[in-house]
Structure 1
Amino acid sequence: MTTRAVVAGCGHYLPEKVVENAEFEATLDTTDEWIRARSGIERRHFAAEGQTTSNMAARAARAALADAGWEATDLDALIVATSTADLTFPSAATMVQAEIGMTKGFAFDVQAVCAGFVYALANANALIASGQARKVLVIGAETFSRIMDWSDRSTCVLFGDGAGALLLEAQEGAGTSDDRGILGTDLNSDGRHRDILYVDGGVSTQSTGHLRMKGREVFRHAVEKLAETAEATLEKAGVTADDIDWVVPHQANIRIIQGTAKKLGLGMDRVVVTVQDHGNTSAASIPLALSVGRENGQIKQGDLIVTEAIGGGLAWGAVLLRW
């Protein structure tokens, strides 16, 4: 028998403020058509004034707990993937822990930018497989609207805010690819490419900074590395792309999503796409897409799903799971 980290519930939260592409036309040399053609994005959500990453994360957490029928006191561990925590410290995770009433166990943040949720899932899987935790809440949450340069049309139109959450529970499986739960993970990073996607500020530089990106370079690395990490994860689990029911990718850009699917030999009818409605929500994008995909009736119990993401660092990786 093999201990698996099995999905027990999911949920998400999106801020009330919806920003359509056309709203940028008043302040930027851009159009709705230009944004759609280059990114596939039509709209995104922005956090309200005073609304924080931990607040959105807690809302997604409550939705996931309600979906599973769990109480916060059932949890052993809580992981928040974010690059936009409320404060330098304490972690956003401990803030969520307090807000939802989780009174035991431990909580911590993972920072791997857009790959953060994949890294967090891999960590949660390791905690469960090693016996350190049996019930783990994994959240991706971001307020990227707070680090945008609103004069840079190449970046500020791409990002949005939101949060998604997944509950994982230890269950015994047969040790085969037919088991429910996380079946394989693959994590990578290469700091030599840090200058193609980064924020030009931080605590030790005493500034918040703004997101900076070399779009063409990011695109080139993304398609190649996302396909490679997905294939590596499938190989570890002993399955092929033909076995996959759904790809749930990081929702950065429709062209990256399409390019990766093509490299994997999969049609877009097997890809969950939410980028048109959410924009790039960094670490929140995969859990948001999982929750929306399940809500829309796309993802069903027993489906074999591969998730993959790449972000600043560069950091990238993939997780294979059976829902």
Structure 2
Amino acid sequence: MIYTRIVGSGSFLPSTVVSNNDLAKDLLCRGIHTSDDWIVQRTGIKQRYVADVDVNTSHMAVESARMALIDSGIDASDIDLIIVATSTPDCVFPSTACVVQSKLNASRAAAFDLQAACSGFIYSLSTAESFICSGKAKNVLVIGAEKFSRILDWNDRSTCVLFGDGAGAFVLTASYDCGILSSCISSDGSISDILSVSGHFDRGNVNGCPFVRMDGQSVFKNAVYVLEESARAVCDKACVDINSINWFIPHQANIRIIKMLSRRLGISNDKFVITVDKHANTSAASIPLAFNVAKLDGRIKNGDLVLIQGVGGGFTWGSLLVRI
């Protein structure tokens, strides 16, 4: 049986760190009141990284990809497919993935973007697994990269405090030993309005709202429900006891969602990798960023069983169970 194995990971964060106090001062100049305590209590976020104007999504994607390729020992010329999960591409087209392919000199790789909002990285991993297990690709580069600071309304306190910029990448390859054991992706378009950016181009004009809009209570309720159901589904599919999982890496949106998920699953908080306090919500980049932090600090080791989960606008969600 052919498995899809993670053989390399990498990440990139912009150089500018914006603390809650920094953000509160900036918002106060706009007549908007908030504080570090207000943000931490509601989200668990203490800071976020914000990319400079001249740093775009493809730049961050390329830097994280280079780290992942070095970590994997696989050359860019041996990559068969590049998938970039993003809601903030450099432009309408060409895809950010094609820009990445050019900058990496990955000349033999097919390349495309995948848009599933904050679930994009899970959707991309599931897609990569299908390519590898079908024999259509051997080595796949999957990147989650976002510059959400471009689509935030900095006069909307309910959303602008939540997000950050960054990128993370995995190199996946075919393996007979271990790898992805099961995965599932799902969506419910009937509740798409609870988290959206409705702006669109029409003959050179931007119509609709070009900024993130969110019904926080609805997102919280639905996120916890689908993450719990999805976690149990992939464990059942792989015939794995959920208590045997070493590490849980959920989408890093809000500490309250993660704590509620921990309670619903009956799993200790200590098994959850949490980076939302430092990175904020980096959408499709949050999972690989969190994974790489735990890998570099030694928590995630070879042989560990890891559950990775995403949930986001669409409404989309998914889970993936992998043996490292």
Q: Same fold (TM over 0.5)?
A: yes
Instruction: Please give the secondary structure, in 2, of the residue aligned with 1:200.
Output: coil
Q: Which residue of 2 aligns with 1:160?
A: 164
Structure 2 CA distance for aligned equivalents of residues 161 and 228 of structure 1: 29
Q: Which residue of 2 aligns with 1:253?
A: 254
List aligned pairs for 1:221-236, cutoff 5 A: 221-236=222-237
Instruction: Please give the secondary structure, in 1, of the residue aligned with 2:157.
Output: coil
Q: Which residue of 1 aligns with 2:322?
A: 321
List aligned pairs for 1:163-242, cutoff 5 A: 163-173=167-177, 180-204=178-202, 206-207=205-206, 209-242=210-243
Matched, 1:13 2:17: no
Structure 2 CA distance for aligned equivalents of residues 155 and 105 of structure 1: 37
Shift of 1:25: 1.8
Structure 2 CA distance for aligned equivalents of residues 33 and 320 of structure 1: 35
Structure 1 CA distance for aligned equivalents of residues 12 and 132 of structure 2: 26
Structure 1 CA distance for aligned equivalents of residues 254 and 317 of structure 2: 16
Q: How many residue pairs get matched?
A: 316
Q: Quick one: which amino acid aligns to residue 252 of structure 2?
A: Q
Q: Which residue of 2 aligns with 1:114?
A: 118
Contact kept in structure 1, 2:101 and 2:109, CA below 8 Å? no
Q: Which residue of 1 aligns with 2:57?
A: 53
Q: Which residue of 2 aligns with 1:143?
A: 147
Contact kept in structure 2, 1:88 and 1:203, CA below 8 Å? no
Query: What do residues 72-125 of structure 1 show as CA deviations (whole Å, max 9, x unaligned)?
Result: 101011110000000000110010000111010201111000000000000000
Over 3 Å counting, the alpha-carbon distance change for 1:134 and 1:157 in structure 2 is same
Q: Which residue of 1 aligns with 2:310?
A: 309
Q: Quick one: which amino acid aligns to residue 101 of structure 2?
A: Q
Q: Which runs of 5+ in 1 are unaligned?
A: 174-179
Structure 2 CA distance for aligned equivalents of residues 202 and 74 of structure 1: 37
Contact kept in structure 2, 1:241 and 1:265, CA below 8 Å? no
| The 10-residue stretch of structure 1 (9-18 or 26-35) with the greater mean CA deviation from structure 2 | 26-35
Q: Which residue of 2 aligns with 1:101?
A: 105
Structure 2 CA distance for aligned equivalents of residues 312 and 272 of structure 1: 22
Q: Which residue of 2 aligns with 1:176?
A: none
Q: Which residue of 1 aligns with 2:76?
A: 72
Instruction: Please give the secondary structure, in 1, of the residue aligned with 2:34.
Output: coil
Query: What do residues 18-49 of structure 1 show as CA deviations (whole Å, max 9, x unaligned)?
Result: 00000122223100000000000000001111
Q: Quick one: which amino acid aligns to residue 322 of structure 2?
A: L
Instruction: Please give the secondary structure, in 1, of the residue aligned with 2:9.
Output: strand
Q: Quick one: which amino acid aligns to residue 31 of structure 1?
A: S
Structure 1 CA distance for aligned equivalents of residues 24 and 81 of structure 2: 44
Instruction: Please give the secondary structure, in 2, of the residue aligned with 1:261.
Output: helix
| The 10-residue stretch of structure 1 (78-87 or 194-203) with the greater mean CA deviation from structure 2 | 194-203
Query: What do residues 137-163 of structure 1 show as CA deviations (whole Å, max 9, x unaligned)?
Result: 100000000000001101000000000
Structure 1 CA distance for aligned equivalents of residues 266 and 98 of structure 2: 41
Query: 77, 83, 86: which one pairs with 1:82?
Result: 86
Q: Normalising by structure 2, what TM-score?
A: 0.96
Q: Quick one: which amino acid aligns to residue 20 of structure 2?
A: N
Q: Which residue of 2 aligns with 1:24?
A: 23
Identity over the aligned pairs, expressed in percent? 48
Structure 2 CA distance for aligned equivalents of residues 287 and 200 of structure 1: 27
Instruction: Please give the secondary structure, in 1, of the residue aligned with 2:318.
Output: strand
Contact kept in structure 1, 2:50 and 2:149, CA below 8 Å? yes
Contact kept in structure 1, 2:153 and 2:211, CA below 8 Å? yes
Q: Which residue of 1 aligns with 2:295?
A: 294
Q: Normalising by structure 1, what TM-score?
A: 0.96
Runs of 4+ residues over 6 Å off in structure 1: none
After superposition, the CA RMSD in angstroms is: 1.0
Contact kept in structure 2, 1:118 and 1:319, CA below 8 Å? yes
| The 10-residue stretch of structure 1 (200-209 or 39-48) with the greater mean CA deviation from structure 2 | 200-209
Q: Quick one: which amino acid aligns to residue 245 of structure 1?
A: N
Structure 1 CA distance for aligned equivalents of residues 24 and 66 of structure 2: 36
Shift of 1:172: 1.4
Shift of 1:204: 4.1
List aligned pairs for 1:113-132, cutoff 5 A: 113-132=117-136
